[in-house]
Amino acid sequence: MKLTRRDALALGLGATAASLLPFRASAAADDAIAAFTGGMEAGEGGITLTAPEIAENGNTVPISVDAPGAVAIAVYAAGNPTPGVATFNFGPLAGSQSASTRIRLAGTQDVVAVAKMADGSFVKTSSTVKVTIGGCGG
């Protein structure tokens, strides 16, 4: 177990039990994605999102996205109070349509990546990143 008194108190004040449960989706994330796609349905395939299964530190989670042929890739943290994380735009001279960054996650949630392709269509993928407080190794 991993709790000292100080951290237990800090967590007790700063976080509620509910915040440790997964956020799968939110109206805010759906709205933000709809704004990016203009309401168009996003397909599957052609986009890769690489993220850890369990975050080592929820305050700085490394992720990368790759969508060959995309003109833009938007990343959302579906469970954050403000879901929009970043939008990467790729010009015609871009060597590859990929990007990596670090994001802050308020708790266990789905990270969503949506790519706008050159023909105006959209593709989407998501990955669950767990932010955990406990854990005892074997």
Among 26, 80, 97, 108, binds other proteins (CB under 8 A): 108
Distance CA 78, CA 33 (A): 10
> How many residues make contact with other proteins (CB under 8 A)?
33
- Contact call for residue 2 and other proteins (CB under 8 A): yes
- How many CB atoms lie under 10 A from the CB of residue 97? 21
- Contact call for residue 25 and other proteins (CB under 8 A): no
Among 82, 89, 96, 132, binds other proteins (CB under 8 A): 132
- Contact call for residue 26 and other proteins (CB under 8 A): no
- Residue 27 CB partners (closer than 8 Å, separation 6+): none
Residue among 65, 128, 129 nearest 99 (CA): 65
- Contact call for residue 17 and other proteins (CB under 8 A): yes
Instruction: Tell me the window of 35-43, 70-78, 82-90, 127-135 that interacts with other proteins (CB under 8 A).
Output: 127-135
User: Within positions 34 to 73, which residues make up the interface with other proteins, using CB under 8 A?
Assistant: 50, 52-54, 56-57, 62
Buried b (16+ CB within 10 A) or exposed e, 44-82: eebbebebeeebeebeebebebbbeebbbbbbbbbbbee
Helix (H) or strand (E) holding 73: strand 70-77
Binding site for other proteins (CB under 8 A): 1-9, 11-12, 17, 20-22, 50, 52-54, 56-57, 62, 100, 108, 128, 130, 132-138
